[in-house]
Amino acid sequence: MAVYTEVTDDELNAFIAQYDLGAVLSCKGIAEGVENSNFLLVTERGPYILTLYEKRTRREDLPFFLGLMEHLADKGIACPLPVQGTDGQALRELSGRPAVIVTFLAGMWPRRITPHHCAELGTALARLHLAVADFRMERPNALSLDGWKDLVGKCAPRADEVARDLRATLEAELAALEANWPAGLPSGVIHADLFPDNVFFRGDGLSGLIDFYFACNDFLAYDIAICMNAWCFEADGSFNATKARMLLTSYQRVRPLSPAELAALPWLCRGSALRFLLTRLYDWLNHPPGAFVRPKDPLEYLRKLRFHQTVRGLGDYALDDGGSYQV
């Protein structure tokens, strides 16, 4: 269960007394998520999500995350909205951790991804990118090239314990990305972690987006690459071009991609694959015994990276070619 900090009844009741939410009816830990402690909180006013931010979430980043959710909600993007206490403040402290209550978002994330889900995702992602155009707060992406270099340095000495020749693969891929990473693409705030478990559906319709705690400023098309890796591969590791076409086509109906963005997608997909390979590998190598949360398999993203390394253009994805792509 993804609960790292326990909350006593007395602590919870004193915390809720700072809000106009009525009495607590129940508070249950949520098993999903790996970064923070999350609880389904039910009060006399209804259900909410209570989040305690753990050590890996920097306190100084929290105003950016909360401000972003407020901005998106104001723009009509369905996402959790931070709840303010009677003093007008949303961020406060509980059990020695920064804590916030956000509104409850109805829906379920899809366990079996279909092309329709990818089409809905593309539309929602493009709408998000347009909605943040006038969001004035900024947060650099700590998990781009400099961050990858740092993680390669930390993981490389033990990488071959996880897969044969993994150290050499990581070092070679980092060098290739440093030499070929695009520049000058349209940028803005991206979600940066829009995996299926962060996208809710009700029936056939997308009902909202959650978990903005990796959001940062970067190329908008990099967000698409993250989604292609997370949504467009099958369980056997094969790339599903139909899902990718639905994702890109729906996105471009709302926000057309420039030729430079399309041409850069293969490199952006490689960068996205390396990013999640490295963070998963780091967690795998540094997993404390007895921890509640089992680390995710880094080799899933090694297989995706190897696929992208064979790509020379969008045609290799069975997509319309958006320009030259040379290694």
CA nearest to 87, candidates 22, 182, 17: 17
Instruction: Band the pLDDT of 274: cuts 50, 70, 90.
Output: very high
Cα distances (Å, whole numbers) of residue 183 to 110, 259, 263: 34, 13, 12
Instruction: Band the pLDDT of 33: cuts 50, 70, 90.
Output: low
Rounded mean pLDDT, 14-20:
97
Radius of gyration of the chain (CA): 20
Rounded mean pLDDT, 33-48:
89
Give the pLDDT of residue 313. Answer: 87
In this structure, the strands spanning 187-190 and 205-209 are unpaired
| CA 280, chain centre distance (Å) | 13
Give the pLDDT of residue 316. Answer: 87
| pLDDT digit string, tens, across residues 64-113 | 999 999 999 999 999 999 999 999 999 999 999 999 999 999 999 999 99
Give the pLDDT of residue 55. Answer: 76
CATH of 115-317, one of 3.90.1200.10, 3.90.226.10, 3.40.50.2300, 2.40.110.10: 3.90.1200.10
CB count, 10 Å around CB of 164? Answer: 10
């830990």: which residue's tokens? 29
Burial 105-126 (b: 16+ CB within 10 A, else e): bebeebeebebbbbbbbbbbbb
Answer yes or no: are the C-beta atoms of 97 and 53 closer than 8 Å.
Answer: yes
**What residue segments make up the domains of the chain, in order of their start?**
9-103, 115-317
If one looks up domain 9-103 in CATH, what number appears? 3.30.200.20
pTM: 0.93
Q: Is the pLDDT at 1 greater than 60, yes or no? A: no
Instruction: Band the pLDDT of 322: cuts 50, 70, 90.
Output: very low
| pLDDT digit string, tens, across residues 221-250 | 999 999 999 999 999 999 999 999 999 999
Rounded mean pLDDT, 20-39:
86
Instruction: Band the pLDDT of 34: cuts 50, 70, 90.
Output: low
- List the end-to-end C-alpha distance of the chain, in Å, as a whole number: 43
| pLDDT digit string, tens, across residues 109-145 | 999 999 999 999 999 999 999 999 999 999 999 999 9
Q: Of residues 98 and 327, which shows the higher confidence score? A: 98
